[in-house]
Structure 1
Amino acid sequence: MNTPTTTLYDRLGRRDGIARITRALIQNHLANPLVSNRYAQIQDMDRLERNVIDFFCAGAGGPEAYAGKDMLATHRGMNISEQEFVAVIDDAMAALVSCGIEPPVRNEVLAILWSMKGEVIRV
């Protein structure tokens, strides 16, 4: 299945796989002392989860539509530090590992996450 014609969406397990990864990611954030305070303040965790799943699915080539704010609008004014950004990426990589995602696919996700750095850190 891991042929050049499969999408990242397929390689991550489609919506069900991405939902599983997202739930692991949010749990990792809540347990991470570097970023847990930002997530503990979220009023509607179900909405956050749905938005992250839709964002991740759409960005990975799935059919889902993402109707939330873009990365810059989401993070503007939060004053996210480089250390927090790296902590979030570390949490994402740990979620991918715990969900059984293979190293080449994890590296692909890592590259995408790093590409968003300018839309997240100190914006």
Structure 2
Amino acid sequence: MNQDHANLYDRLGRREGITRITRELIKNHMANPLVNIRYGQVDDMDRLERNVIDFFCMGAGGPETYGGRDMLTTHRGMNISEQEFVTVVDDAMAALQTCGVDAPVRNEVLAILWSLKGEVVRV
């Protein structure tokens, strides 16, 4: 398939690529002193990883179904700051780059992540 006409899911490497990106992202979060405490409090990291992968796959146009909570419900009451949100986005951009995702595709993901800010920050 021509990469210019492939959907975001295909351009990210389908489930296999998104799984690789998600694992790198979680690794980045765990190493990041601004957000690692939030991830250290997660009871079931395997479930978190599966939910992130399914959410990312479905949001990128893949066939997966996301069965977790919506963004607003997930983040309500966590009092996530703008700085934490930007840090998480930076970790995501670094994961995409580490996994060899081209700049135009990274920018597309960046726009999607930024569009979620109102459902995450100080809700």
Q: TM-score, normalised by structure 2?
A: 0.98
1:62-81 matches, cutoff 5 A = 62-81=62-81
Q: Quick check: 1:3 aligned with 2:17?
A: no
Question: Is the partner of 1:33 in helix, strand or coil?
Answer: coil
The sequence identity of aligned pairs, in percent, is: 75
Question: Residue in 2 aligned with 1:19?
Answer: 19
Separation in 1, partners of 2:68, 2:14: 20
Runs of 5+ unmatched residues, structure 2: none
Question: Residue in 1 aligned with 2:117?
Answer: 117
1:36-55 matches, cutoff 5 A = 36-55=36-55
Residue type at the aligned position of 1:2: Q
1:52-95 alpha-carbon deviations (Å, 9 max, x no partner): 00000000000000010000000000000000000000000000
Question: Residue in 1 aligned with 2:107?
Answer: 107
Q: Quick check: 1:35 aligned with 2:29?
A: no
Separation in 2, partners of 1:30, 1:86: 15
Separation in 2, partners of 1:117, 1:41: 22
Residue type at the aligned position of 2:120: V
Pairwise CA RMSD: 0.5
Separation in 2, partners of 1:46, 1:13: 21
Separation in 2, partners of 1:119, 1:81: 12
Matched pairs, number: 122
Question: Residue in 2 aligned with 1:85?
Answer: 85
Q: Give the CA deviation at 1:3.
A: 1.8
Q: TM-score, normalised by structure 1?
A: 0.98
Runs of 5+ unmatched residues, structure 1: none
Separation in 2, partners of 1:43, 1:121: 22
Question: Is the partner of 2:86 in helix, strand or coil?
Answer: helix
